[in-house]
Amino acid sequence: MIVGWAFERSGGGRSFGTTLGHFYGNFQQQPFRRMIVNAILWTAHVEVPDGGAVVDLSEDDLALPPKPEE
C-alpha cells in the first residue's frame, strides 16, 4: 500500500502527497510529524537537516483543547 510519494518536475517544481494523517493521533507521533515537516522543507527547496527536522513538542503543545461544555 502506497502511503506517501514525492515528485520532482523537470522545471524544478516539487510535490509531496500522503494518505496518512486522518487521525489526530498521527500528529502525536514524532516520526509522522518529521515526515510532514521534511516533506514541506523538501518541496520548498529548503535543505532538510541530516536526520530530519526537529519536531519535538511538549505534551501541552500536543494536547487538544478541552471539549466545550454543553
At 11, is the pLDDT very low, low, confident or very high (cuts 50, 70, 90)?
Answer: very high
Domain extent for 47: 19-62
* Total tally of structural domains belonging to the chain: 1
Domain presence at residue 55 = yes
* pTM, full prediction: 0.83
Domain presence at residue 7 = no
Task: Supply the DSSP string of 14-70, one letter for each residue.
Answer: EEEEES---SHHHHTSHHHHHHHHHHHHHHTTPPPPTT-------HHHHPPPPPPP-
pLDDT per residue as tens digits for the range 17-53: 999 988 889 999 999 999 999 999 999 999 999 999 9
Domain presence at residue 14 = no
Domain presence at residue 58 = yes
Q: Is the dihedral of CA 55, 4, 13, 51 positive or negative?
A: positive
Contact 48, 42 (CB under 8 A): yes
